[in-house]
Structure 1
Amino acid sequence: MNNAVFDRLTKVLNPISQKIAGEPHIAAIAAGVVATLPFTMAGAVVSIIKSLTFLPESFRNLLNVPYNMTMGVIAVVVAFSVAYQFSQRADVDTFTSPLTSVIMFLMVAAPQSSAIFTTDFVAGKALKGQTISDVISFTYLGARGMFLAIIIALVSVEITVFCKKHHLVIKMPESVPPYVSKSFSAVIPVVLNMIIFYALSLLASSTLGLTIPQVIDKVLTPALNIVGSIWGIILLTIFAQLLWLLGLHGDNLMYAATVYPMSIQAILLNGQLAAAGKPLQYTPALTFIFHSYGGAGATIGLAFWLLFARSKQLKTMGKIGIVPAIFNINEPLTYGIPIMLNPTLAIPFIICPILSVLIAHFAWITGFMPLPSHMSGGLPLIINEFVYGGGAWQYVVVGLLIVVMSLIIYYPFFKIYDNQLLAKEKASETADDAKGQGDSL
């Protein structure tokens, strides 16, 4: 693919890319899901400690509460964070709107109910058969409710936007303090949200015999299976890499609002199974843990070879890019080398992520590497995957194997491009010397 083809494709796709990247719903989902990272990381640390069987069981049981209050309610965090991000972009109240989203989500996903004890919950106290009230279910407050939380966050804010646009708000006199006036202006949007979501919940239960979360489950399962297939992942990876080569942010356009939330949901569901002592079963999108070693294009190998470049340009980029690459950040290389619009580096840039996905997939299907059940992010290579795997040493082996693969695949293309730039630099120096001698005469 030559530069002329790249240029033509860029002219066609660049406006589309900018429109997608600036779309407030997509941007809100991407930013909102990323905002959950501190809570998923905290839950991951607790989960890893819980998995250490040499610790006393009584101590590990004490960690159930912090685990359930982080991983177990992650959908509640999503409902708030996505609504907050969207309300910022929609220019509505960033305090009431996220809280409205959370309340609507709890009303739909965890309605108040009663429960009957099937066993004696407290030793020496006969509770079996007794009924308790004011019970809510945690089933959809965790990973299983993430997509429902995203939908409710977006819709609830849209309802508020509708009310603002059509002046469906209670206006108070100017003499009323602003914080009081703002509270009253939120009354109608909150009531309208409540009517709509509760009506939908009653409609689903009366016509389908299912709750809204159960309906989402039935819709989402096929999508998870498609994305989770190895061919689906490879196809998405190819598209993402082509976008990067055109100078577009492939990860944001292909993954941010769809695949990443699905991947997070699958991993957190595995975490809940692990916490319950059950075998892990969710594999969708999990190979995205390994597909970008060193950043998009699995460029850790290229980042390493740049340190030994002969051309000044690549040598400089190697010094700049190696540390970010260790933390899976390679925008300095993508735009600085550049990799985008670069036919020489396009081939390994597409091949390496695909091979990374295949290596990880093979390690899982053969049973060599256990399925991940923890969230991680922002950590250096190998360590990041080690945390993802809950401390499984196999993740270190697979990570190192991908690093070696990246080194091997990128080397010949790096040498070709390095020699090209070196020749240009020498030609430029020769021309400058000749010009200098001419000026001296």
Structure 2
Amino acid sequence: MSFVESFTRKGQEIANKIQSNRYISAISNGLMSTLPIMMIGAFSTLLSSMQIEFYQNLIEPIKGIIGLPATFTTNALSLYAVFAIANELAKSFKKDGTSAGYIALFSFLILTPVSTFELEGAPMPISALTFDFLGAKGLFAAMIVGILATRIYVFILDKNWTIKMPDGVPPFISKTFSGLIPAFIVAIIFTIISGFFAHTSFGSFHQFIYTVLQIPLQGLGSNIWSMLIALLIMQILWVFGIHGAIVVLAVIRPIMTALDLENLAAYQAGEAMPNLVSGSFWGVYANLAPMLGLVVVLMFFTKSKQFKMLGRLGAPGALFGIHEPLIFGLPIVMNPILAIPYILTPVICTLIGYFLTVAGILPVTIGMQVPFGAPIFIAGLLQGSWVLGLAQVLMIPLSAAIYYPFVKILDKRNLEQEYVSSELDKE
């Protein structure tokens, strides 16, 4: 077996293991299922916080109302995430996802610190659950609680430590009672965990996870070199016919989501975005322009009928971020000539975007959760500035220039083959 065949087989095995891992899938799918919630919050933030003086003066009387959805979506995303992750994991074990979701949500809340405030004129201190750990800061804790609470719940059900109702009891009532003992046991466990961390220097489980796990991982994820490594791995896997996005995004999506949420919260507060590198940064510079550059070369700078047709067929999909027709149609898969620009072009675009942002020429992306399929320029515009959309468009000719010499090599070969075929047809 050749090295290429061996690498492809091993890579596909790893991709399948990652994709079939119930815990990674639960986190990835759970976060994906919160996308409508994130989009509502992101649009609310964008509409209430666009830094245009005329617009801000216009919406001043209703600015708080416009921004209200963001308060209960983006700023409380951890609540939705813990439920969604628990639901996905429980369903993978063929258990009731709704019950698991509620139990995980309760477990998350019991770990969340309650703040006490002294109000002038109030007869006693007032306790309140703040948004501190309900949004981005609590996201990693939500993942852990969603997995742990559900796993305990499933374990207890598998052991049949449940209340059995007699025959004839409606299924809904029977299912409700069967979850009582698991719910009580999970509640006791997380109450003990909450009490333990309350007596540590961290003060709460949330603060512990945020300090020990989330901050270091976000620091790694917000590093441009880490992003480039992830991007290189994804592109290389695609070249070998392995769905690189499934493998890479399953691992980095939680980190990128947390970074985007921090940027979105800062944008809403009128503060500088803390994370230059984030999921939205990846989306602006690495996703659309590189393949559109390839389409431009195929459509306007090739002579072979095959490439011109592939360019026309691939253009609509590439405009909306769908690249499979080109990856498998040209093909780029197992093509050593096209593999070079395919791997390098998004990396170069990302580096240019990074250095121009560091130089202050381009603004930092606001962390908007742009829906998949948003076309070029619109995707950049939704990240807070038309300048980002323009930067995306200007990277198309740059990408085309990178692809041009490699495509022309293959185009010449195709022309020769088409000429030979036409001569044979004449005979």
Partner of residue 285 from structure 1, selected from 278, 284, 300: 278
Contact persistence 1:293–1:403 (CA under 8 A): no
Distance (Å, rounded) in 1 between the aligned partners of 2:304 and 2:414: 6
Correspondence 1:75-224 to 2 at 5 A: 75-109=78-112, 111-117=113-119, 127=120, 131-218=124-211, 219-224=213-218
| 3-state SS of paired residue (2:286) | coil
Partner of residue 13 from structure 1, selected from 8, 11, 32: 11
Instruction: Go from structure 1 to structure 2 and tell me whether the alpha carbon gap of 1:194 and 1:425 turns closer, same or farther (over 3 Å shift).
Output: farther
| 3-state SS of paired residue (1:95) | helix
TM-score of the two chains, using structure 1 as the length reference: 0.88
| 3-state SS of paired residue (1:277) | coil
Tell me, yes or no, if structure 1 residue 381 matches structure 2 residue 384.
no
- Measure how far apart 1:430 and its partner are: 4.7
Contact persistence 1:333–1:339 (CA under 8 A): yes
Instruction: Go from structure 1 to structure 2 and tell me whether the alpha carbon gap of 1:430 and 1:169 turns closer, same or farther (over 3 Å shift).
Output: farther
Contact persistence 2:221–2:227 (CA under 8 A): yes
| 3-state SS of paired residue (1:114) | strand
Instruction: Go from structure 1 to structure 2 and tell me whether the alpha carbon gap of 1:115 and 1:344 turns closer, same or farther (over 3 Å shift).
Output: same
Aligned length: 417
Tell me, yes or no, if structure 1 residue 305 matches structure 2 residue 297.
yes
1:333 matched to which residue of 2?
326
Unaligned 5+ runs, structure 1:
118-126
Distance (Å, rounded) in 2 between the aligned partners of 1:424 and 1:27: 46
Unaligned 5+ runs, structure 2:
50-54
Contact persistence 1:321–1:333 (CA under 8 A): yes
Tell me, yes or no, if structure 1 residue 403 matches structure 2 residue 406.
no
Quick one: which amino acid aligns to residue 375 of structure 1? Q
- Measure how far apart 1:188 and its partner are: 1.9
Instruction: Go from structure 1 to structure 2 and tell me whether the alpha carbon gap of 1:184 and 1:316 turns closer, same or farther (over 3 Å shift).
Output: farther
Q: CA RMSD in A?
A: 2.3
Quick one: which amino acid aligns to residue 97 of structure 2? T
Distance (Å, rounded) in 1 between the aligned partners of 2:276 and 2:191: 33
2:52 matched to which residue of 1?
none
Quick one: which amino acid aligns to residue 161 of structure 1? V
Quick one: which amino acid aligns to residue 284 of structure 2? F
- Measure how far apart 1:426 and its partner are: 4.1
Distance (Å, rounded) in 1 between the aligned partners of 2:306 and 2:127: 66
- Measure how far apart 1:58 and its partner are: 2.5
Instruction: Go from structure 1 to structure 2 and tell me whether the alpha carbon gap of 1:226 and 1:112 turns closer, same or farther (over 3 Å shift).
Output: closer
TM-score of the two chains, using structure 2 as the length reference: 0.91
Instruction: Go from structure 1 to structure 2 and tell me whether the alpha carbon gap of 1:342 and 1:79 turns closer, same or farther (over 3 Å shift).
Output: same
Contact persistence 2:47–2:67 (CA under 8 A): no
- Measure how far apart 1:199 and its partner are: 1.4
2:313 matched to which residue of 1?
320
Contact persistence 1:368–1:394 (CA under 8 A): no
Correspondence 1:17-96 to 2 at 5 A: 17-51=15-49, 52-96=55-99
2:264 matched to which residue of 1?
271
- Measure how far apart 1:92 and its partner are: 0.8
| 3-state SS of paired residue (1:55) | helix
Cα deviation per residue 1:160-179 (whole Å; 9 max; x = unaligned)?
22112222222212211111
Distance (Å, rounded) in 1 between the aligned partners of 2:192 and 2:414: 65
Distance (Å, rounded) in 1 between the aligned partners of 2:357 and 2:124: 45
| Identical positions, percent | 29
2:239 matched to which residue of 1?
245
- Measure how far apart 1:141 and its partner are: 0.8
Q: Which 4+ stretches in 1 moved above 6 angstroms?
A: none
